[in-house]
Structure 1
Amino acid sequence: MGEQIRKRGLVQAAVGVALLAWVVVTAAVVDVGNPQVLLGAAVTGGLVCLCAVAGGAVATRITDAPSAVRLRHVFVVLEGAALSLLFPFYWFGLGLEPADGSGYFLVGFVFVIVLAIPVVTALAFVVLGSRAVHMVVVDAFGPIVPDSEAEASAQRIRALGTVLVTAGVALSAGVLAVMFTAPPHWLVLEVPGLLVTLTPVLLGVFLARVRDVYSARRRNIAAYFILPGACGYAVAKVGSIGGASGILIGGLIFGAVVLLAIALLAVREFTGAWDRPWRESRKLSS
């Protein structure tokens, strides 16, 4: 199994480099009306590709199950980083403008087809590479958290919910502070920012009340990413016309996305989303 992981890591690293080159070349040759926004899309998309390169490089150091255990947290961090960076890449892409004031369809086509394909492909490599290492560890040593049914594990999930509520309220307060100082006509664009920063609060309230980790698993945490994705156009517009205030709101929204990514990965670790040990216990009991 270790040999397979190493070979897979070599392929992932090589493909990640090729995808990074794809993003860099595209950003260098595409002509848009706001090159700074294109640069932001290229940087964030390139970082996602670098996560794939880093994951592949680390995978080449796995020789057996114990080494997979030691390095597994690296893959989880890279997975969370790639997932979080996908959203600012998406927001920057929506903010692209044509160089001559026309051809909006062409600009959207370039972003969706030419830029998004390598970035989404890199994210898929990161997630699948992390899953492969996870399964090596589970096959050798059992579930990542063998005492998931214990009260202590549920308490840690509830503690995570408390952190989400506290941090989410702080982010929402920051958005409100900016809204009070911004021109009134920006309100329609800033309200989605407030909704996105409140999303970790809603998730945190649920997690703070769970009775066991499996009740947390039954909550589709990935669905909480729908709102940040749906508000992408508003985030892109407020960032492009809002100056420093718009950039600040964009940063606060990105902070909310990071919180959601952390919650998704943390709950997955404590509920065995990949190994699903409770299914085995049900089979044995039946």
Structure 2
Amino acid sequence: MLRGSIVALITPMDAIGAVDDAALARLVDFHVEAGTAAIVAVGTTGESATLDEAEHCAVIARCVALAAGRIPVIAGTGANATAEAIRLTRCAAEVGADAALLVTPYYNKPTQAGLIAHYRAIADAVALPQILYNVPGRTACDLLPETTAELTRVENIVGLKDATGDLTRLPRLRELCGPDFALYSGDDGTGCEFMLGGGDGVISVTNNVAPALMRQLCDAALAGERERALAINNQLADLHRALFVESNPIPVKWAMAALGLAQPGIRLPLTWLTPAHEATVRAAMQRAGAL
């Protein structure tokens, strides 16, 4: 089981929106050196919605090649069409990804029975370890704890990223899913308490900007060192908030450009950070010691 600080990696782009391979190499090295536990490639923060299938597979393959076994790579392969999710997950397996992260189908609003059928079909088609991803604020679809528990019966469904920010779900999820099913927070603001309450780590946007400090936070929380974990989280709290002053990944891509690790590139319909918010993000980076 992967545990700890997992980065929801940006997909770096140039000014016209083309994937920046040199920047991607810098980012992978940045996380290896910082001790990040794993990389999620082409998830929500990686702008999966605006990469076509060929680009999507190419970025996953490049991350695997750049990681070169130094850090696990979890491929974002979710889609709102089951057939597309199978194709992306199969591609991730073929290029050597360690696991797949599968967001609930967005926009078409499946029932709980539909979610079970969707995830079973992907797991049956591809043997790669698979992590479910529930983010109803983006998808208009909520994967309920009881449905998650049903899916734990599928051998290669190994975990859940819960981005609801609802800490009251955690005890129920742990009770229903058992101790060996990985539970990751997908919400930086509540991630510390999630781990202190029995979660296994955080798939984090903040980790792009402050990976060493996020590693320290996760290590402390998973060791049950509440006071130390809360102190580190307090240092990061402004950054957790600032990276969502506009839709993710707008602020974090600005932050990575400010660090000199990526160019100022993003794809429509997302636009570059509004100048009025730059001071907020910069101040939060400074408080976290990232700038």
Quick check: TM above 0.5?
Answer: no
Which of these two proteins has the greater Rg computed from alpha carbons? 1
TM-score tier after normalising by the smaller chain length: under 0.3
TM-score by length of 1: 0.26
TM-score by length of 2: 0.25
Indicate the structure with greater strand content.
Answer: 2
